[in-house]
Amino acid sequence: MFAVRGLGFLNFLLQLKRYLLKLKSRKFPIIPGSIISLFIFMAVFGEILSPYPATKVSLPEKFLPPFFLTKGSMDHPLGTDMLGRDILSQIMAGARPSLIVAVAVLAFGGLGGTALGIMSGYYGGKLDVILMRAADSTIAFPIILAAMLLAIILGPSIQNVIIAISLIIWARFARVIRGEVMSVKERDFVALARVAGASGTQIMFRHIFPNVAHTMVVMLTLQAGYTIIVEATLSFLGAGIPPPTPVWGGLISRGREYIRIAWWIPFFPGMALALIVLSFNMLGDWLREIIDPKLRQV
């Protein structure tokens, strides 16, 4: 019937399942959803399924246009780049690093920021002041500059990109979640839990977190798109994931100088990027819409 221990998390999962079932009925945005599913699918299986290895150089095949132009063919549906590498394969392979960065950043920065926000909001006092000042300074600092600095100091690598973006993203989560926590903790059931003798940790897990989780989920979706863009920007500027890993930002950057003779080199990766980010944002908006009014009923 109900678990005696570990209630907070189990409760949350049960709640999540209920939500997901209800989600299905509520005008789920199919196109963004499909695009994101495709993205995830490509990230996992892209390397296996791509027609060519993404890094396979083939100089005689360089600058081939996409299939719908003359001299193009279905051998290379989206054309090839300056070294004869297949664009489509590079796009497919590029999905993985983007997804890895996004998931890692959301896990550390997003969940970490949420945890800090909960503690900050619940305990208040000096902890709150310190954390919020830290958050404010992080938000005030220009993110690209910060990430570039970190890349220069620590050297470009996928880990450093994750660290850099997480350090910047945590503050947004912390601030928003803290705001929610401040109103949740005033509700009587929190006082009742204290009267029952529950410890601060128990209260934060069992009472506070489940009541701010919905906000966190929406933020995760919306920040996913943002994270992907930042990562792409860093790669574009050369401070992101270093070659030979194919990343969309890098593709766009390399293709810049050829835009007049082979526009498809930067164009298709750019399109992919735009579509993914747009899809995440639309999904996030939809989530926010269905979660908020539901709350008013609940």
Least distance CB 115 / another protein (angstroms): 18
Least distance CB 24 / another protein (angstroms): 18
DSSP 86: B
Nearer residue to another protein within complex by CB, 1 or 145:
1
Least distance CB 295 / another protein (angstroms): 8
Nearer residue to another protein within complex by CB, 55 or 202:
202
Residues that bind another protein (CB under 8 A): 1-2, 4, 7, 11-12, 15, 187-189, 191-198, 202, 206-207, 210-211, 297-298
Side-chain-side CA neighbours of residue 194 (13 Å): 10
Nearer residue to another protein within complex by CB, 48 or 196:
196
Least distance CB 223 / another protein (angstroms): 23
Measured N-to-C along each axis, helices 248-255 and 87-105 cross at an angle, to the nearest 10 degrees, of 130
Per this entry, what is the length of the chain? 298
Least distance CB 139 / another protein (angstroms): 20
Q: What angle do CA 296, 177, 103 make, to 5 degrees?
A: 110
Distance CA 173, CA 222 (A): 11
Nearer residue to another protein within complex by CB, 93 or 184:
184
* Phi, psi torsion values for 86, nearest 5 degrees: -70, 125
Nearer residue to another protein within complex by CB, 59 or 188:
188
Tokens 């690209």 belong to residue: 144
User: 62 vs 80, 173, 193, CA distance in Å?
Assistant: 6, 45, 68
Distance CA 212, CA 182 (A): 10
Distance CA 131, CA 65 (A): 53
Nearer residue to another protein within complex by CB, 161 or 212:
212
Least distance CB 138 / another protein (angstroms): 21
Side-chain-side CA neighbours of residue 199 (13 Å): 2
